[in-house]
């Protein structure tokens, strides 16, 4: 029997990137999955990818919703319960990228662009899902980011702040909900090849350029490789699998190819530097 057989999962932000990879993995591992995003066409692509891998159509529910609104959140929870009758796993993954809706970086960005979806929507969706997760003694996995700190991220400070707030929410809800048998954890990815560049409105090829710049510099990514969505999906599945991770409560697993362990100077070979 597959490890998530009999479980029902909601994966937010599953019309693209990490969420899509996670929804596909969960469905392949036996879960009934609600996929969701604002973009109906991309959501349909996720659904077709799931079905292509042999998952029965009855196991997938697609809900087009804007999670920045409580109406969208209610639709997501209500239609999942209506279709599948329970909720075991909530993956709070939907999130914005680094530029704000006007394409700005740094201090001048609109803080609410990040606050609304990366943090507040996670809070209210968790509140709405709570009673169902208590009934099932379920799991929550939040998708944070290494941008939460402790390093500064001056170009994308509100993104980083929203993820830092999310980390504190993970820790605090974990203690709040474990008394009811619900576990809460998170994953903090470094750079992952997803649709995030397109979501930022970057021109075609710009994201690839940034990725290969990072990959070629060990002070950026010591392992020399950008992650793929499945690399993060595997960690989310681990944290949602009580048989494997039952004693992990309120933690965030960093998956960043070593990025946060190095500082620019440390990454260079000092013997090479003094030779020239």
- Contact between 138 and ligand NDP by CB under 6 A: the answer reads no
Q: What are the angstrom distances between the C-alpha of 227 and each of 45, 172, 195, 257?
A: 21, 28, 13, 8
- Contact between 199 and ligand NDP by CB under 6 A: the answer reads yes
Stretch near ligand NDP under the rule CB under 6 A, chosen from 50-58, 61-69, 245-253, 257-265: 61-69
Which of residues 15, 73, 126, 173 is near ligand NDP by CB under 6 A?
15
- Is the preceding omega at residue 254 within 30 degrees of 0, hence cis? no
- Contact between 257 and ligand NDP by CB under 6 A: the answer reads no
169: left (phi over 0), alpha (psi -120 to 50) or beta: alpha
Strand ranges (E), the chain:
8-11, 32-37, 60-64, 89-92, 139-143, 183-189, 252-255
- Contact between 95 and ligand NDP by CB under 6 A: the answer reads yes
For the record, the structure tokens of 229 come out as 């969505």
> What 8-state DSSP symbol labels residue 224?
S
Which of residues 22, 73, 80, 93 is near ligand NDP by CB under 6 A?
93
- Contact between 129 and ligand NDP by CB under 6 A: the answer reads no
Q: What are the angstrom distances between the C-alpha of 161 and each of 118, 228, 258?
A: 10, 24, 21
Nearer to ligand NDP, 143 or 177 (CB): 143
Would you call 159 a catalytic residue per the annotation?
A: yes
Interacting residues toward ligand NDP by CB under 6 A? 13-19, 37-39, 42, 66-68, 93-96, 117, 143, 145, 189, 191-192, 194-196, 199
Residue numbers annotated as active site: 159
């Amino acid at each position: 029997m597959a490890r998530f057989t009999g479980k029902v999962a909601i994966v937010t932000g599953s019309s693209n990137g990490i969420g899509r990879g996670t929804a596909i993995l969960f469905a392949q591992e036996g879960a009934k999955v609600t996929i969701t995003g604002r973009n109906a066409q991309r959501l349909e692509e996720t659904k077709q990818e799931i079905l292509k891998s042999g998952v029965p159509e009855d196991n997938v529910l697609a809900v087009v919703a804007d999670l920045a609104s409580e109406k969208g959140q209610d639709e997501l929870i209500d239609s999942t319960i209506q279709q599948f009758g329970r909720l075991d796993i909530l993956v709070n993954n939907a999130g914005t990228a680094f530029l704000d809706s006007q394409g700005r970086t740094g201090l001048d960005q609109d803080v609410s662009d990040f606050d609304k979806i990366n943090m507040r929507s996670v809070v209210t969706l968790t509140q709405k899902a709570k009673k169902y997760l208590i009934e099932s003694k379920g799991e929550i996995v939040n998708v944070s980011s290494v941008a939460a700190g402790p390093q500064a991220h001056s170009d994308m400070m509100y993104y980083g702040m929203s993820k830092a707030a999310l980390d504190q929410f993970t820790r605090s809800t974990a203690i709040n909900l474990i008394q009811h048998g619900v576990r809460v954890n998170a994953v903090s990815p470094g750079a992952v090849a997803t649709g995030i560049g397109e979501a930022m409105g970057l021109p075609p090829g710009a994201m690839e350029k940034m990725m290969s710049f990072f990959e070629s510099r060990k002070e950026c990514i010591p392992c020399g490789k950008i992650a793929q969505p499945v690399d993060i999906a595997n960690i989310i599945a681990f944290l949602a699998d009580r048989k494997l991770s039952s004693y992990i409560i309120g933690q965030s697993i960093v998956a960043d190819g070593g990025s946060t362990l190095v500082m620019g100077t440390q990454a260079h070979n000092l013997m090479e530097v003094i030779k020239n």
